[in-house]
């Protein structure tokens, strides 16, 4: 019994032995309990058509083994051992930080699942924007809670952060401008990933909307990187919702074309256009007396927003008109000048 009562670092060997047994019992018990719970609940989750129970199992599985080890160590040291106050504070601080980290992970997963099932989750751009704000809020609150539990004066820290924040804001106006512009893009949704847009002299498909810049794949294949602030301050043309394209084109025929042929031209354009599936004829008229030609104007709609289909329809219309003109002996005009020389 003397051996059992022998003291080591203010604790008897008996206390140390009990502490070790309790530590491993807690650690093994927690892991076994989690394993049984996950296995049983997974069986139930597979039998249901809902996804929330699967998400719940996933959240439980994400809790790290390191947290369980710290939990068992903290309980053991706090209840069964006499340790220096500095060591006890250190273990408590590590446990609080680990607990806050795991809590933030779980809350983030839960909120991500809930938002993903809502209307926000249907829009990838809005979802990423909301999750960005959620992450900032969770980590900010978690940091303050940890500091408060560790004995720091949060009010003084908050005041210091406020003064520091003003200084940082003044030094990083451009960065913050792009950051807030990204929030505008996330929530106002002038465009989204996958949309084809035109910004000034640039155009292409949106590939990524970041915190500071938006990346666009141009027609030639290169990547354009444009600041979010520039995008929100510019006029952006978004072709995603384009249902049809209006095409207005002009052409001219020679001045020696007989009036009977001129009357045929609008009907030829109408006939050619109506034979094309994706084309909807609007009008065609003899329009102007130009310097070198008799001008016509025609309008039709391409019943799709697809750029390639639009060009295909335009090509078919142009070729069809040329074929009919060749058949009817109607000549397209080109700039000419006739000079009369008087002897």
* Cα–Cα distance measured from residue 35 to residue 39, given in angstroms and rounded to the nearest whole number: 6
Query: Residue 19: its pLDDT value, please?
Result: 80
Confidence of residue 295 (pLDDT cuts 50, 70, 90): very high
pLDDT digits (tens, 9 = 90+) for 169-191: 544 456 666 767 777 777 777 88
More confident residue, 45 or 202: 202
Q: Where are the domains of the chain?
A: 7-154, 182-238, 245-328
* Cα–Cα distance measured from residue 67 to residue 65, given in angstroms and rounded to the nearest whole number: 5
What average pLDDT does the segment 88-94 reach? 82
Quick one: tokens of 332? 């397209």
What average pLDDT does the segment 186-212 reach? 83
Query: Residue 171: its pLDDT value, please?
Result: 47
Q: What is the CATH number of domain 182-238?
A: 2.30.30.60
pLDDT digits (tens, 9 = 90+) for 237-252: 887 777 888 899 999 9
* Cα–Cα distance measured from residue 94 to residue 148, given in angstroms and rounded to the nearest whole number: 14
pLDDT at 168 over 60: no
More confident residue, 162 or 38: 38
Average pLDDT, the chain: 80
Q: Is the pTM of this model over 0.95?
A: no
Q: What is the CATH number of domain 245-328?
A: 3.30.70.100
φ/ψ of 282, rounded to 5, equals -115, -60
pLDDT at 313 over 90: yes
Residue 315, Cβ density class (10 Å: 0-12 exposed, 13-18 middle, ≥19 buried): exposed
């Amino acid at each position: 019994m003397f051996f059992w009562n022998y003291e080591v670092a203010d604790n008897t060997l008996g206390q140390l032995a009990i502490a070790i047994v309790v530590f491993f019992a807690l650690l093994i018990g927690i892991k076994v309990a989690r394993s049984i719970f996950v296995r049983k609940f997974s069986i139930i989750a597979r039998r249901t058509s809902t996804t929330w129970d699967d998400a719940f199992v996933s959240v439980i599985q994400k809790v790290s083994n390191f947290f369980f080890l710290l939990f068992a160590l903290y309980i053991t040291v706090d209840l069964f051992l006499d340790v220096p106050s500095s060591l006890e504070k250190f273990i408590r601080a590590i446990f609080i930080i680990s607990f806050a980290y795991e809590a933030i992970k779980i809350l983030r997963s839960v909120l991500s699942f809930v938002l993903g099932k809502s209307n926000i989750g249907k829009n990838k751009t809005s979802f990423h924007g909301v999750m960005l704000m959620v992450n900032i809020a969770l980590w900010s609150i978690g940091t303050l809670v940890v500091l408060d539990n560790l004995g720091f004066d949060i009010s003084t820290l908050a005041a210091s952060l406020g003064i520091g924040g003003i200084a940082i804001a003044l030094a990083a106006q451009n960065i913050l401008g792009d950051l807030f512009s990204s929030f505008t893009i996330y929530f106002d949704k002038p465009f989204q990933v996958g949309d084809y847009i035109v910004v000034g002299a640039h155009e292409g498909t949106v590939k990524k909307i970041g915190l500071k810049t938006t990346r666009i794949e141009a027609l030639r294949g290169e990547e354009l990187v444009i600041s979010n602030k520039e995008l929100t301050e510019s006029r952006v043309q978004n072709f995603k919702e384009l249902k049809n394209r209006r095409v207005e084109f002009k052409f001219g025929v020679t001045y020696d074309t007989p009036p009977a042929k001129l009357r045929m031209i609008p009907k030829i354009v109408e006939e050619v256009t109506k034979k094309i599936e994706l084309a909807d004829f609007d009008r065609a008229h003899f329009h102007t007396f130009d310097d070198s030609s008799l001008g016509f104007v025609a309008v039709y709609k391409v019943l799709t927003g697809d750029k390639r289909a639009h060009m295909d329809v335009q090509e078919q219309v142009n070729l069809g008109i040329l074929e009919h003109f060749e058949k009817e002996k109607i000549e397209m005009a080109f700039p000419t000048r006739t000079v009369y020389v008087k002897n």
